[in-house]
Amino acid sequence: MGKPVMTAEAVAAAIPDGATIMVTGSGGGMLEADAIFAAMERRFLETGSPRDLTLIHALGFGDRAQRGTNRFSHEGMVRRVIGGHWTWSRPMQLLAANDKIEAYSLPSGVISLLMREIGAGRPGLITKTGLGTFVDPLHGGGKVNKAAKEDLIERIVIDGETYLRYKPMKIDVAIMKATSADASGSLTTREEPADLDIYNVALAAHNSGGTVYAQVREVLPTGTLRPREVTVPAILVDALIIEPEQQQTYLGGYRDDLAGLARSDIVPEKIDARGGPKRVIALRASEELTSGACLNFGFGASAGVAEIISERGAYGDYWTTIEQGIHGGAMLTGDLFGMAVNANAIMNASEQFDFYHGGGLDAAFLGMAEVDRLGNVNVSHMGGFIVGPGGFIDITHNAKKVVFCGTFDTKGSKIEILDGGIRIVQNGAIKKFVDTVGAITFSGEEAVRRGQEVVYVTERAVFRLTPNGLALVEIAEGVDIEADILARMDFRPIVDNPRRMPAAHFKSETVAA
């Protein structure tokens, strides 16, 4: 039996006020059903409906301007947002900051896996992931503004061990994008850069008694899709929306090398470890690599480590992953982070997060915005706005080793890179090593309890986490330990004869940090 084909406008008209909506999508336009989102936005602006929605999204999606979560960022359109990553929509961040919506932020993997638990009829997601962080009820329970009052998470004890239970909820509507469907309604993401959590999203809505809408480029005759190509079977899909002009990503068109259907000799331009402090950081952080290790990289300074591996032609020495479900390949960076050219494997994001939650990562290289005396790291709450953790908590809570990468300070810092060391021309106006972080996205206390190895790499100093707090273990040549490090921190770390950072990581040049 075939599925009805609807217009995006008809879907927008069918969504009731007050509905709880779960959507797929990730940065750069991956699996983003923008035709449906745009129709919902137009209808709201014209009629005031649908309004008072609860919007749930595991990964951040949008273009910082109009698409993605920006489509929903009109006062009255959403009542509550539960998001893994918020940075792609400043208007939505403003609604949260001004208490115009009930704002929650949970780890991306937790949201994705919670959809599976909802669909399976289980009592929520029970995990240690998030203990000690801002999603722990002891530290706010994922509520990121005063308007958020409902408790979505609770602490429970099983066999003497403390866990978090992320509570289930009814999903009224699921909205997703796939490459194509067959007439029966089965979906394939064969030509997309990732599968993300599309199956879990459909499962959660269908088994909640909700409705599943899928935007596709085309509908093929029944039987055209080979069974192994089906990402979501027809039984979970209620209606199809055909959008012949839909794009694979914000790059436009469809690229087989991003979908894993072809190899390419054209790989992304490297920008994170080209020079300056970021290159010093990447080179020093690369010393934490171990041959044969399974790795995860964030973007920015930490992505520079992947570029160092590429420069050395050493990709075969490691197994690289990112949370969108990608294994191997050359990662795209910036706003297109989350996809890769020439991937070795493309799994769905939920399977990737299961792998992470179970301790599959040997090491993770990620950024840091604030660090405090206990080794806590904040990357989720910045300048009065919620950024969200994305996959940061899922990854850092469970990796065997975590290497945080970032400049020592920021905003106006100017560093002269010399052969063998540095000269600090101007310190940044904003300190990163603070007495107390604005929010705990990584818990140093929990890391010590788990026995994790944790390293903090900057261009002028390296720190390690100990049971007694943060210890300064290395300094760059040319740095005055009192004036350039300790005086620029809000706390005094453990200092016990730190050694010099390797001179080979410093090559003469002058750049702004």
pLDDT tens per residue, range 282-341? 999 999 999 999 999 987 778 889 888 888 888 789 999 999 999 998 888 777 888 999
Which is nearest to 395 in space by CA: 369, 368, 371, 363? 363
**282 and 227 in one domain?**
no
d(CA 153, CA 159): 19
Residues 438-447: tens digit of each pLDDT: 999 999 999 9
- Provide mean pLDDT across the span 376-399: 96
**185 and 74 in one domain?**
yes
Residues 255-296: tens digit of each pLDDT: 999 999 999 887 766 656 677 899 999 999 999 999 999 999
Task: Name the burial class of residue 168, with classes exposed (0-12), middle (13-18) and buried (19+) by CB atoms within 10 angstroms of its CB.
Answer: buried
d(CA 220, CA 218): 6
With respect to residue 459, please indicate whether it lies within any of the assigned structural domains: yes
Active site residue 323: yes
d(CA 470, CA 474): 12
**294 and 227 in one domain?**
no
Residues 5-16: tens digit of each pLDDT: 999 999 999 999
| Strand spans (E) along 98-217 | 102-105, 125-127, 153-158, 161-166, 173-177, 180-182, 187-188, 211-216
**102 and 40 in one domain?**
yes
CA atoms within 13 A on the CB side of 177: 27
Which is nearest to 108 in space by CA: 125, 92, 132? 125
Q: What is the dihedral of CA 479, 306, 296, 256, to 10 degrees?
A: 150
- Provide mean pLDDT across the span 86-92: 95
Specify the pLDDT at position 269.
66
Specify the pLDDT at position 270.
63
d(CA 267, CA 249): 16
Would you say residue 513 has pLDDT above 70?
A: no
Q: Is the Cβ–Cβ distance between 443 and 469 less than 8 Å?
A: no
Which is nearest to 323 in space by CA: 125, 107, 93? 107
**190 and 316 in one domain?**
no
What's CA 512's distance to the chain center, in Å? 27
- Residue 158 three-state SS: strand
Residue 107 belongs to what domain range?
5-242
CATH of the domain at 21: 3.40.1080.10
d(CA 120, CA 208): 10
Q: Is the Cβ–Cβ distance between 127 and 145 less than 8 Å?
A: no
With respect to residue 252, please indicate whether it lies within any of the assigned structural domains: no
Would you say residue 22 has pLDDT above 60?
A: yes
Report the run of H or E that residue 96 belongs to, with start and end: helix 90-97
d(CA 304, CA 333): 10
Which is nearest to 111 in space by CA: 55, 56, 53? 56
With respect to residue 415, please indicate whether it lies within any of the assigned structural domains: no
Q: Which of 42-56, 168-182, 254-268 has the lowest mean pLDDT?
A: 254-268
Ramachandran region, residue 397 (left: φ > 0; alpha: ψ -120 to 50; beta: rest): alpha
Q: Is the Cβ–Cβ distance between 409 and 472 less than 8 Å?
A: no
User: b vs e for 223-242, b when ≥16 Cβ sit within 10 Å of the residue's Cβ?
Assistant: eebeeeebbbebebbbbbbb
Specify the pLDDT at position 359.
97
With respect to residue 260, please indicate whether it lies within any of the assigned structural domains: no
Q: At what angle do helices 349-357 and 108-119 cross, to 10 degrees?
A: 110
With respect to residue 229, please indicate whether it lies within any of the assigned structural domains: yes
Would you say residue 511 has pLDDT above 60?
A: no
d(CA 236, CA 79): 27
Which is nearest to 338 in space by CA: 315, 317, 322? 322
With respect to residue 414, please indicate whether it lies within any of the assigned structural domains: no
Q: Is the Cβ–Cβ distance between 354 and 325 less than 8 Å?
A: no
Catalytic pick among 192, 243, 323, 459 = 323
- Provide mean pLDDT across the span 3-26: 97
DSSP state for residue 327 in the 8-state scheme = E
- Provide mean pLDDT across the span 8-34: 97
**337 and 475 in one domain?**
yes
**284 and 208 in one domain?**
no
With respect to residue 268, please indicate whether it lies within any of the assigned structural domains: no
**229 and 147 in one domain?**
yes
Q: What are φ and ψ of residue 264, in 5° steps? A: -135, 145
Residues 178-194: tens digit of each pLDDT: 999 999 999 999 999 99
Number of domains forming the structure of the chain:
2
d(CA 138, CA 341): 41
List residues bridging with 403 in a β-sheet.
Answer: 365, 455
Percent of the chain topping pLDDT 90: 89
**372 and 229 in one domain?**
no
Would you say residue 435 has pLDDT above 80?
A: yes
**119 and 199 in one domain?**
yes
For 376, other C-beta atoms within 10 Å of its C-beta total 24
**313 and 221 in one domain?**
no
Angle, vertex CA 390, rays to CA 284 and CA 191, nearest 5:
100
d(CA 39, CA 36): 5
Would you say residue 37 has pLDDT above 70?
A: yes
CA atoms within 13 A on the CB side of 149: 3
Domain end position, chosen among 242, 265, 297: 242
Report the run of H or E that residue 330 belongs to, with start and end: strand 330-331
- Residue 238 three-state SS: coil
What's the Cα-to-Cα distance from 9 to each of 15, 77, 241, rounded to whole Å?
Answer: 10, 16, 10
Sheet holding 161-166, edge to edge: 125-127, 161-166, 153-158
d(CA 466, CA 451): 10
Domain end position, chosen among 242, 264, 288: 242
Q: Report the residue count for the chain.
A: 513
What's CA 216's distance to the chain center, in Å? 25
**235 and 281 in one domain?**
no
Would you say residue 212 has pLDDT above 80?
A: yes
With respect to residue 467, please indicate whether it lies within any of the assigned structural domains: yes
- Residue 484 three-state SS: helix
